[in-house]
Structure 1
Amino acid sequence: MSSFTLPATMKIVRQLDPNSTTLSMEEAPLPKPSHADDCLIRVYTTSPCVGELHWQVWFPSIVPAGSPRVPGTEAAGVVVQIPEGDTAQASGFKVGDRVFFRVEPEQTGHLRQYSLARLSQMAHVPSTMGWIEAGSTALSSLTAWQGLFQHGILDSRAIFGDVAAQKNNQKLSILITGASGVVGGWAVYLAALAGAGRIVALCDSLNTAYVKELGATEAVDYKKESVAQWVAKDPATREVDVAFDCVGGMTLGTCWSAVKDGGILLSITGDPGKEKPDSSTKTLAIAKWILVEPNGQQLQSISDLIAKERKCITKVDSVLDFADFQQAFDKVEARRANGKVVIKVMDI
């Protein structure tokens, strides 16, 4: 149902060629739901994700050839149409709600004035959060949440007061690489709120104060020494139960030296097994590349946390108008952004 007067067409940005990062704006009809739980959203803000313009070439099994190639996997906006039936009523969402969400890569993206998200993928935007933060928080915060609590061994219940979970988390140590980045920052913050006993943040010295403010107990300057060099000074006290890598490459490889034998190594950038040093004899309980999944319940927990703490830590590099979409993606693709680049699809 909808109480909004909807236009017949909308502005939409497409990637015409999967082998090119050039984007094009055009007029198109409003999207029609293709899933029973699809909601129509009037998009206010969205954020590019580094590498997403290459996903169809790199990961054809995830982004099929028939994809509409509209970029933007996360966004925030207002619900203008919701499915009929008991499922929608039980979901707690209604027309007019402010929501944010992240969808699957094979679903169409949100760099358009109206888009679709499923009830199971959305969460309510907390009252303390504006559109800029709302359109740039779902992807990074969900990635960190799932890395720590779904794939890792920290217990998220500790954040909301579970005493047994808090005691368990206090026994655990974690290394987070890229700790001052958008995902790494959320990982440090959530690990601290969950009461992890040790949180080692890998960053440069310029960001030491920032990561410690987020809750890191220690900081290692990767420009001065590698993780392997740092651990080698005192392996007995410096090895950790879990390493959460947000950098990849050589940094991911050195994480093997930091994790205790039988520990856990997770990366959001690549397969840890392919980066294992020949000299390492460790056998880990888990060593895998994790991909974030849309999860409205987890995102709602994050939303509730933001409302409770009255703090959103998403680092925003810049905010650009809808017409400047190519500039936004070029900046992200060139890795010149210190934080999220937000595109204002609607005036806010």
Structure 2
Amino acid sequence: MSNTEMDSKYPSTAKALVFDLATKTLDVYHSNRVPVPDPIRDDHLIQVEAIALCARELEWPCLFPAALLSDNPDKQIIPGYDVAGTVITAPPASPFQPGDEVYARTYPARPGNYREFSIGRGVEMARKPHQLSWAEAASVPMSAVTAWQALYEHAGVARPSEPSSERKRILITAAAGGCGVWLVQLAKMAGLEVIAQVGSPQNDRFIRGLGATETVNYRTMSLMEWAKTHEPVDVIIDCIGGKALEEAWYCIKDQGSLISIVEPPEGKRPEELKTKDVKNEFFIMYPSGQQLGEISKLIEQGRCEAVVDSVWAFPDFKGAFERLDGGHARGKVVVQIAQPVV
């Protein structure tokens, strides 16, 4: 089907969830303008099937308004930057053409994807793994690509295709969370011994099933207590920040790597460990269709899996954000945008 034929089949307005920065409230707009793709900018119009939410994402417009509105002429804030859906229109030379099923983490400088039609760019997108449902696909991009970058770009871990002969140990905080489940799987695949911080016996069993060999239940043992009776680890990836990140300093060996996706580790370094020689970094992930494509291959090979905590209907955004903000989601909180076929 040509782009022209596809153009005639989508409406000019559709539903969207919009965040009002002045009142800090969310509301469903039933006749929101459908975005007009610009092929010069590699825009693809996507009919959205499902999206996933990210912890604290409603704080971003308040903390970083200039960054979040830098590619947003209408200054409209729409949450949900993980998307799975079908390409409706595409630039002629794009590898993604109308009818293709894709998924992506889109740049938050543009409006997000909690809407019936959205924009994806080629650099962000990959083909949806055929065995994943729409909800499962939406749960993958940000978490999996963040884990990929944390391990392979920042912590210096060898990729699964380039396994290291050196056996290393990694500690992952919030291991049952959205990013944590991917860190466990990718680290195990890379040959690391995985120690996972969890908060319940159920998550203990779950995370061991994904590849962890040891767990630390934060409800019964702090990381500082754990460090007193265990050898320090080579790598720590922190997904919590705060007290957990402070205590992680006691668990890392000299010459090790301490990476946080929440806040700079240096700011949480205990005074008595000021001389400890540790590579420590905070980073913010960048969307990468190329890396997402590599993750798709692993999923299609059955080497790793998507983890969905819960799936919510479009109107149930309050419940979805409450589940997310509760801090105990296992995997990702997903919203089904398109009406499921009964």
What is the TM-score normalised by the length of structure 1? Answer: 0.89
1:241 aligns with 2:234: yes
Query: How far is the alpha carbon of 1:28 from its aligned partner?
Result: 2.2
User: Counterparts of 1:307 and 1:94 in 2: how far apart (Å)?
Assistant: 21
- Equivalent residue in structure 2 for 1:94, among 92, 97, 103: 97
Whether the 8 Å CA contact 2:48–2:118 is kept in 1: the answer is: yes
SS in 2 for 1:313: coil
Alpha-carbon spacing, 1:223–1:337, altered in 2? closer, same or farther (3 Å): closer
- Equivalent residue in structure 1 for 2:205, among 209, 212, 227: 209
User: Counterparts of 1:144 and 1:340 in 2: how far apart (Å)?
Assistant: 14
Whether the 8 Å CA contact 2:137–2:306 is kept in 1: the answer is: no
Query: How far is the alpha carbon of 1:222 from its aligned partner?
Result: 1.8
Alpha-carbon spacing, 1:230–1:285, altered in 2? closer, same or farther (3 Å): closer
- Equivalent residue in structure 2 for 1:328, among 314, 320, 328: 320
Whether the 8 Å CA contact 2:176–2:331 is kept in 1: the answer is: no
- Equivalent residue in structure 1 for 2:80, among 72, 83, 89: 72
Which residue in 1 is equivalent to 2:17? Answer: 13
- In the alignment, structure 1 segments of 5+ residues that lack a partner are none
- Equivalent residue in structure 2 for 1:177, among 166, 173, 176: 173
SS in 1 for 2:164: helix
- Equivalent residue in structure 1 for 2:243, among 231, 250, 254: 250
Query: How far is the alpha carbon of 1:36 from its aligned partner?
Result: 1.8
Which residue in 1 is equivalent to 2:114? Answer: 111
| Percent of residue pairs identical | 34
Alpha-carbon spacing, 1:336–1:250, altered in 2? closer, same or farther (3 Å): closer
What do residues 96-150 of structure 1 show as CA deviations (whole Å, max 9, x unaligned)? 1110100111111001111001101001111111111011211111111111112
Whether the 8 Å CA contact 1:244–1:267 is kept in 2: the answer is: yes
Which residue in 2 is equivalent to 1:137? Answer: 140
Residue identity matched to 2:196: A
Query: How far is the alpha carbon of 1:22 from its aligned partner?
Result: 2.9
User: Counterparts of 1:177 and 1:256 in 2: how far apart (Å)?
Assistant: 12
Whether the 8 Å CA contact 1:52–1:71 is kept in 2: the answer is: yes
What RMSD, in angstroms, separates the aligned Cα atoms of the two structures? 1.9
Give runs of aligned pairs for residues 292-311 of structure 1, distance below 5 A: 292-309=285-302, 311=304
1:42 aligns with 2:34: no
SS in 2 for 1:112: coil
Which residue in 1 is equivalent to 2:185? Answer: 189
SS in 2 for 1:265: strand
Residue identity matched to 1:102: R
SS in 1 for 2:104: strand
1:265 aligns with 2:258: yes
Whether the 8 Å CA contact 1:15–1:22 is kept in 2: the answer is: yes
1:123 aligns with 2:126: yes
User: Counterparts of 2:131 and 2:114 in 1: how far apart (Å)?
Assistant: 24
Whether the 8 Å CA contact 2:253–2:278 is kept in 1: the answer is: no
Alpha-carbon spacing, 1:325–1:208, altered in 2? closer, same or farther (3 Å): closer
User: Counterparts of 2:180 and 2:317 in 1: how far apart (Å)?
Assistant: 26
1:199 aligns with 2:189: no
Deviates more, 1:252-261 or 1:225-234: 225-234
Alpha-carbon spacing, 1:330–1:211, altered in 2? closer, same or farther (3 Å): closer
Which residue in 2 is equivalent to 1:219? Answer: 215
Whether the 8 Å CA contact 1:128–1:310 is kept in 2: the answer is: no
- In the alignment, structure 2 segments of 5+ residues that lack a partner are none
Query: How far is the alpha carbon of 1:247 from its aligned partner?
Result: 1.3
SS in 2 for 1:251: helix
Whether the 8 Å CA contact 2:188–2:211 is kept in 1: the answer is: yes
User: Counterparts of 2:25 and 2:151 in 1: how far apart (Å)?
Assistant: 32
SS in 2 for 1:49: coil
Query: How far is the alpha carbon of 1:324 from its aligned partner?
Result: 1.9
SS in 1 for 2:163: helix
